[in-house]
Structure 1
Amino acid sequence: MKGEKYLKSLKNKSVLTADDFLPARDFLRPKMALFVDYNKVLIDGPTFKNLPNFVMNPQHCTNLVIRNVQINNGYRAQNGDGIDISSCKNVMIYKCTVTAGDDGICMKLSGEKTPGVPELANVIIADCIVYHAHGGFVIGSNTDGSMQNIFVNNCSFIGTDMEVRVKSNAGRGGTVKQVYIQNIHMANILNEAMGFDTCYADMPAGKEKSTLYEQPNNKVPDFSNFYFQNIYCNGAAKAISIKGMPDALIRQLYFKDMVIASKSGFNCENAADLFLKNVHIITAKQPVFETNGYRNIQITE
């Protein structure tokens, strides 16, 4: 924070020299592997450890393969995300192992001031393992653009805060759809096994979470068409949590062939068209299903 604060103080200086940056040098937290506007990128086999910020953050890249990568960031590393994919297309993340201080493997739509609408599309994540992280597979919180066609298959999440985490809020939301998550094994999840939150409270100091509803109705999150199948969880605080906005419901979520052992069950707020087939939530807390502000939930064997 000290380095970032000092750099902001330099904005009013018209001519900068290397000496101007020296006071901030010891406080900056650079990203490790940052690729911007590249085509046909292969990252195969490196190991990264103890980085102060995002470890890998490709931005606006096309035809990107990340495989056999090992990331070991301290659990207390602030913003120590493992792999953050920002506004990229045609991406494969394969056989990677991540321990992170923030999100493990994350999809973002960056809000940079560039022409056009940011887009992320055609992503495959397969045979990966995420240990400590705020989320194993994460979408957001920047979703201001268009995000679609994301496939997560045969991955394990062990000891993460959440397994699947989809988060955003008004002011930096956009369209996220056609997300397929299947053949997932998880254990010892600290909070929710799966969570959707369009009122994510990642706000500057001094603001209350309730002020999210008071923001202008631009860039409102639009989450729909998520498909979950063959999901198994042994231990979580809560099975599934869905928190939409009253005027922007989370829609068309499909859950099939799932077994989740958790302390509490399924909580849904401001959502529509949810379909649960052969979903078993093992919990001692009743009721298993709690809903508020929903339309059309179907539960079948």
Structure 2
Amino acid sequence: SREAMGGEALLKKLKNKPDATAEDYLPARDFLRPKMVVINGGKNVLLDGPTFRNSPNFAVNPKGITNLTVRNCTIHNDYWAQNGDALDISACQNVVVYHCLVNAGDDGICMKSSGDRAPDNPALRNVLIADCTVGQSHGGFVIGSNTDGGMQNIWVTDCRFLGSDIGVRVKSNAGRGGLVSNIYVDNITMRNILHEAILFDTYYEDVPAGREKGSGLPATPTKVPDFQQFHFNNITCQGAEVAMYFRGLPQQPVHDLTFTNVSIQADKGVEAESIHNLTFQNVQLNVAQGPAIPATAAKEIKVL
């Protein structure tokens, strides 16, 4: 990529500078390593059977495709590979991801969507993810952090998340958020999740190496994430640090989520901030410490 070539040129120049300091090398962090496979635009695209290993950045990144099928693929990046996402589906429509095996240095199977779109015309919609196994990764199934183009009608079914940092990870923040709705997650098995089994975070911040996180929201936030109408059914997790984590914005809570036939074994139960209208039906949270549902969250969670 042009960015990688620029970074290489800078490093060659500094190699011939005997008095180069650490500060001289800092600009190199802004040059992106190239993605392995990017398919940008088009219709009726099929990826069937290949193996992708050790990508410098994202491994496979289809963008703006209508009618995309990814099946029988193996994607492997080592756990330490920074930005080593496995499969990032960006602003595509009518997508099937089937029978894939994934290990990633970052997110496993991830949905992204950018651009100014009307709420009834999301850039990413009609996605089926079925019979996939995700091992080491920052998240097994991930939404975000770019959601400002909108997402609708995603079904994740019959998948296994084994040893990932987070099982189901939904993340965005003010400035790159949009409406994400009609998401169905069912028949999921998780084991040995390092942190949260299920996470919703509207304060996500992607911090490049050598930089520090910002402080809070902008004074007048725009492109605020709106996570609603998520439905979880037949979910089991054997081992996690936190069963469920929700962090909405004060002006836009995470809202209208349903959890049915869910069993999670974790150190801690629910952690919640700015949520509204969650429904638990036949939900079993077996936690080692603290209440499964804290009093601060109980008023917004209907237990059936």
TM-score range, shorter chain: 0.7 to 0.9
2:252 to 248, 254, 259: 248
Please give the alpha-carbon distance, in whole angstroms, between the structure 2 residues aligned to 1:293 and 1:216.
Answer: 27
Q: Secondary structure at the match of 2:38?
A: coil
1:186 aligns with 2:190: yes
Mapped contact 2:234–2:261 kept (Cα < 8 A): yes
How many residues of Structure 1 are paired with residues of Structure 2 in the alignment? 280
1:296 aligns with 2:277: no
TM-aligned CA deviation for residue 272 of structure 1: 0.3
1:167-182 alignment runs, 5 A limit: 167-182=171-186
Please give the alpha-carbon distance, in whole angstroms, between the structure 2 residues aligned to 1:146 and 1:295.
Answer: 29
* Residue number in structure 2 paired with 1:21: none
Mapped contact 2:104–2:136 kept (Cα < 8 A): yes
1:9-88 alignment runs, 5 A limit: 29-88=33-92
* Residue number in structure 1 paired with 2:287: 283
Amino acid in structure 1 at the alignment position of 2:64: H
The one-character-per-residue Cα deviations of 1:129-188 (angstroms, maximum 9, x if unpaired) are: 000000000000000121000000000000000000000000000000000000000100
Please give the alpha-carbon distance, in whole angstroms, between the structure 1 residues aligned to 2:137 and 2:207.
Answer: 20
* Residue number in structure 1 paired with 2:25: none
TM-aligned CA deviation for residue 235 of structure 1: 0.3
State the TM-score, normalizing by the size of structure 1.
0.87
Amino acid in structure 2 at the alignment position of 1:65: T
Q: Secondary structure at the match of 1:35?
A: strand
Structure 2 residues not aligned, in runs of 5+: 11-27
Mapped contact 2:114–2:150 kept (Cα < 8 A): no
TM-aligned CA deviation for residue 6 of structure 1: 3.8
Please give the alpha-carbon distance, in whole angstroms, between the structure 1 residues aligned to 2:297 and 2:222.
Answer: 22
- Greater shift after overlay, 122-131 or 30-39? 30-39
Taking a change above 3 Å as real, the CA distance of residues 265 and 294 of structure 1, as seen in their structure-2 partners, is closer
The one-character-per-residue Cα deviations of 1:210-263 (angstroms, maximum 9, x if unpaired) are: 33x125321000110000000000000010000001111111010000110000
State the TM-score, normalizing by the size of structure 2.
0.86
Mapped contact 2:116–2:148 kept (Cα < 8 A): no
* Residue number in structure 1 paired with 2:230: 226
The one-character-per-residue Cα deviations of 1:180-209 (angstroms, maximum 9, x if unpaired) are: 000000100000000000011224665544
* Residue number in structure 2 paired with 1:238: 242
Structure 1 residues not aligned, in runs of 5+: 11-23
Taking a change above 3 Å as real, the CA distance of residues 150 and 199 of structure 1, as seen in their structure-2 partners, is same
1:263 to 260, 267, 271: 267
Taking a change above 3 Å as real, the CA distance of residues 293 and 189 of structure 1, as seen in their structure-2 partners, is closer
The one-character-per-residue Cα deviations of 1:100-119 (angstroms, maximum 9, x if unpaired) are: 00000000013599xxx861
1:210 aligns with 2:203: no
1:144 aligns with 2:148: yes
Query: Which has the larger share of strand?
Result: 1
Mapped contact 1:246–1:293 kept (Cα < 8 A): no
TM-aligned CA deviation for residue 64 of structure 1: 0.2
Amino acid in structure 2 at the alignment position of 1:272: H
Taking a change above 3 Å as real, the CA distance of residues 111 and 182 of structure 1, as seen in their structure-2 partners, is same
Q: Secondary structure at the match of 2:240?
A: strand
Please give the alpha-carbon distance, in whole angstroms, between the structure 2 residues aligned to 1:242 and 1:208.
Answer: 20
TM-aligned CA deviation for residue 292 of structure 1: 4.1
Please give the alpha-carbon distance, in whole angstroms, between the structure 2 residues aligned to 1:215 and 1:133.
Answer: 34
